[in-house]
Structure 1
């Protein structure tokens, strides 16, 4: 499955876009967000950028293959990251839709090329004053202007000339994962990439996504609606209609 996805900028060229699905499906539906999650809906996504270099770095196709397969294994454990953020008009709830229909769209996996050599990418990573414009082009975008919206995207970028340098960018919606959760996911993905899917069985502590203890609060639903109106008055959008 390849998207019709056009050039991102003059400094980064699109190579390919595919979709990654969890290695095994989990029976899941809606994961309702709690009111403290709602406060993050309108915030910009969390983005993390990692540079890898050295003579032992495998060829780019091997890197992509390893990252794709290990991401599929990791998504099977962090299943909500394979879903999408959605609004339920009947209840006024914002949820992570983990239904088969939502998960079937997959996590967008972008392969890109930085318009420079491997040495240029190394300098970009090592300079004390970061080139924020270049950095922003090495992480994928997530369109959250309206719901439903995907919650995770990945970009892997190689240099246009030379070898031995790769950048991996990750974007996750803040309403679904806080800073610690993002690092837990990244550590798990790194573990799966190095040691295989079996290593994920030993995750301590295992991830949990259940908000039910918080949702049992007597005014939890009221707080969620209030927070949504306050923090994201333009959301949720369904098509061109504002549902609030």
Structure 2
């Protein structure tokens, strides 16, 4: 992988500022408490890979992107502003039409090479987005939105970097969809609602709020808790210093993008519609999200070899636009997320059936939408320097899985006029073992789950994530074997296939079919070829031995001693060569 990064050269051609097509209202925009808790979190970065028709001129397409970006910024003009401190010391947006940063770059890797490799994550992908600091003043100055268009022979990559204090996932995809609409020359379907003053507390004294664990009350669940925000005695507000971050950057680096310090690999798992239905059946989950998340949570904690006595967490971010008072429109542009967190022990999670994890996640989702929780979150964030990391710290996070994005976002519908993207990836992960969920290209019936782990932990996750059922099978494949390969299997085999697993980078070993032991051995030594495909079918069968006999030559042969050459003797220590030949006999054929 280091060799790949060394071979790839990203050259930055030019950078300019793109301003709204017409001057917009100059003013200072209020940032709500729900925005400020994301102030120290790393920016939202995405990669979109496109392969326009050869008839599309690259220069004109880039100019078209700039022009449509300028048009859409008229509606989303705060993104062209800058963060600044107000008179009270509170961060706010200076809506000054400062502009969005737009960078043109090129890369010397042919687009076809990336496509053949299934857009498998490379180190140099990080250079396809604008480089920004993680926290503190590094993340408070400069453009709120940066776009980088990197040209490759046969295609291009659009990298986006958006400050998280400006938007959550729902608002980001709202903006991207609107930009694509402008690029195609159509009126944006859903203009944004920009006013964020709905949570302004004014003269109201905020309540003292704590984040406390509550036992889940359910006949199906034991030894599991969900955290809820609870109003405390007013004196607690003065006595409690929890949540004040002395050094936000030091706290942040313990949480976000550990790949900057630890060598990790990125892998995407493809959950087909059939797999999801099977997981829902076995987990009792009513939603695809719960079924997939439950399975991933269990397996990634096992892959990380968490001690059984340790506490493990599950964190999700719930869109609560309809849960605040008064409710917000779906087009509200900003942050409106509630952080739901559940805990149990590694022993309970790993050694319980998948239905346990699914029930915990279901209860967690319900708790996020309780009537008081969003109001309490707004009050909790009223104290200076409160941020998202503090909630995690109050809960005692050590081992856990957090969910990023959602499969309901139509990430493959971002069409600028030359077709939908061939690949969409997150450029950053904010935690080892996190889940980045997105819908697949089949219109949302399947789910893609991306994650990052150290090499050895990813190998364990590959083995456990889908090998879970009885009488089931798994199709293990590496890029460039595409998920569509699954539908080409015979029907009777496809019904017993749990999933397609995308293997990590491979080396020089050549081969076709591999048995499971060979796969596990070669995975450890790195000797898996990028074109290796293995179909391993687990079937329960009973073999009855009827009789055994020795078959001699049809007529006697002369006794003699046969010489074995040196080439023969070299193979003496190896196992015998064994083959299975399967025949389909006519019904009328007598077996005997």
The TM tier, using the shorter chain, reads 0.7 to 0.9
Q: In structure 2, what is the equivalent of residue 120 of structure 1?
A: 113
CA 1:109/1:95 → structure 2, altered by over 3 Å: closer, same or farther?
Answer: same
Q: In structure 2, what is the equivalent of residue 83 of structure 1?
A: 81
TM-score, normalising length: structure 1: 0.76
In structure 2, distance between residues paired with 1:188 and 1:42: 27
TM-score, normalising length: structure 2: 0.33
Q: In structure 1, what is the equivalent of residue 543 of structure 2?
A: none
CA 1:224/1:28 → structure 2, altered by over 3 Å: closer, same or farther?
Answer: farther
Counterpart check, 1:171 vs 2:161: yes
1:98 to 95, 99, 102: 95
Q: In structure 2, what is the equivalent of residue 209 of structure 1?
A: 194
**1:35 and 1:227 in contact (8 A); partners too:** no
**2:149 and 2:157 in contact (8 A); partners too:** yes
Secondary structure at 2:74's aligned position in 1? helix
Q: Deviations over 1:94-127 (max 9, x none)?
A: 111103xxx23x2110000112223234346x24
Structure label with greater radius of gyration: 2
Unaligned 5+ segments in structure 1 are 1-8, 234-244
In structure 2, distance between residues paired with 1:73 and 1:13: 28
In structure 1, distance between residues paired with 2:92 and 2:167: 13
Aligned length: 209
Query: Any residues of structure 2 matched to 1:1-244 within 5 Å, and which?
Result: 11-56=9-54, 58-88=56-86, 90-99=87-96, 103-104=97-98, 106-123=99-116, 126-127=118-119, 129-131=120-122, 133-143=123-133, 145-146=136-137, 147-159=140-152, 162=153, 164-196=154-186, 199-200=187-188, 203-204=189-190, 206-216=191-201, 218-219=204-205, 226-228=383-385
In structure 2, distance between residues paired with 1:169 and 1:219: 42
In structure 1, distance between residues paired with 2:84 and 2:114: 37
The alpha-carbon deviation at position 79 of structure 1 amounts to: 0.5
**1:142 and 1:152 in contact (8 A); partners too:** no
CA RMSD, Structure 1 to Structure 2 (Å): 2.5
In structure 1, distance between residues paired with 2:180 and 2:69: 9
In structure 1, distance between residues paired with 2:126 and 2:387: 29
In structure 1, distance between residues paired with 2:23 and 2:379: 33
**2:24 and 2:77 in contact (8 A); partners too:** yes
Q: Deviations over 1:55-76 (max 9, x none)?
A: 3562221111000000000111
Secondary structure at 2:88's aligned position in 1? coil
CA 1:96/1:232 → structure 2, altered by over 3 Å: closer, same or farther?
Answer: farther
CA 1:194/1:56 → structure 2, altered by over 3 Å: closer, same or farther?
Answer: farther
Query: Which one has the bigger strand percentage?
Result: 1
The alpha-carbon deviation at position 24 of structure 1 amounts to: 1.1
**1:156 and 1:168 in contact (8 A); partners too:** yes
Select the structure with the greater relative contact order (CA < 8 A; seq sep ≥ 6): 1
Secondary structure at 1:76's aligned position in 2? coil
Unaligned 5+ segments in structure 2 are 1-6, 207-377, 391-592
In structure 2, distance between residues paired with 1:51 and 1:21: 25
Q: In structure 2, what is the equivalent of residue 238 of structure 1?
A: none
**2:10 and 2:105 in contact (8 A); partners too:** yes
143-152 vs 207-216, greater mean Cα deviation: 143-152
The alpha-carbon deviation at position 229 of structure 1 amounts to: 5.2
